[in-house]
Amino acid sequence: MAITILIPDDYQFATAHLDFLHQNARFHCVALGDMSKDPQTEKQLADAEALILIRERTVVDAAFLRRAPNLKVISQTGKLARNVDITACTQAGVAIVEGSGSPIAPAELTWLLIMASRRKLIPSVNAMAAGRWQTDIGSAVNNQTLGILGYGKIGKRVATYATAFGMNVQVWGSKRAQEEARSAGLHVPVSREQFFASCDVLTVHQRLVAETEGNITPADLSLMKTDALFVNTSRAELVREGALYDALIQGRPGFAALDVYEHEPIYDPNNPFLKLPNVLCTPHLGYVEKESYALYFRAAFDNVVRFFDGDTTHVINI
């Protein structure tokens, strides 16, 4: 009998169309929609022997594991994050393996949000569809200052886009980030306060770890310009809870573009951020892209095959 691999919270059922997931007769891959809504959730969980997780969408804790009694391995797309309780998995005898990722899609989405926000693209498109012409006027990014908070693979890629568009790029973050930015010829302000105060556009690209959780504070945001744009395609939890909404209401920064939220998915059209005219919201699309999915899921599937072939050298917890 084929080994059942469940891919939960595949909102678009995109993995049903990845041929390499369905060509190995030893494995039966099943895509499941939003687990909170899909009526097949409990049956599919009970049958699953392996999970392939789409980034951080699915929370796996002790309660979740009790619903999946046959589960043997969890294969993470990309690096493991806090959505998986490693201790609970280890106690349940469930192995965890990590995959690979790519900075390309999230970096491109970040740049798209910056350009769309600055040129007020969405309001203009919507106005034209409603029979109105040239209702908004945006601003170019040329000669503006882009601040990058965190200087990893995604931040570095965004810096190259900004340079190509004539922006002045500056970086803040860890000591490592600052040193690498200086080595790349980028500006590092003398203080965190100066960084927040001098950005025309600020984009966040930090990893969410204990040291960075909530590290963007009301005090930081209050320093931003009244016409500055705050962009977050990384993690909502990097910002102190409630701080960004309050800051936008108060007018510093003047605008935001968001792809991540503290509670996802969002189905409520009355979500506070969706009601703010100075915020552009997208439904966590950073890594949701065809080539990225092919890369993530091929690596994750290969890791499952390795595990059931008896190779456990890539297991991180057992």
Which residue numbers are catalytic?
Answer: 235, 264, 284
Residue 294 has phi, psi (to 5 degrees) of -60, -40
Q: Are 104 and 122 in contact (CB under 8 A)?
A: no
Residues 6+ apart with CB under 8 A from 10: 16, 31, 32, 33, 54
The two structure tokens encoding residue 37: 């809504």
Residues of 239-272 as b/e, b for ≥16 C-beta within 10 angstroms?
Answer: bbeebbeebbeeebbebbbbbbbeeeeeeeeeee
Q: Are 73 and 94 in contact (CB under 8 A)?
A: yes
What type of residue sits at position 293? Y
Alpha carbons 295 and 302: distance in angstroms, whole number? 11
What type of residue sits at position 105? A
Alpha carbons 95 and 72: distance in angstroms, whole number? 6
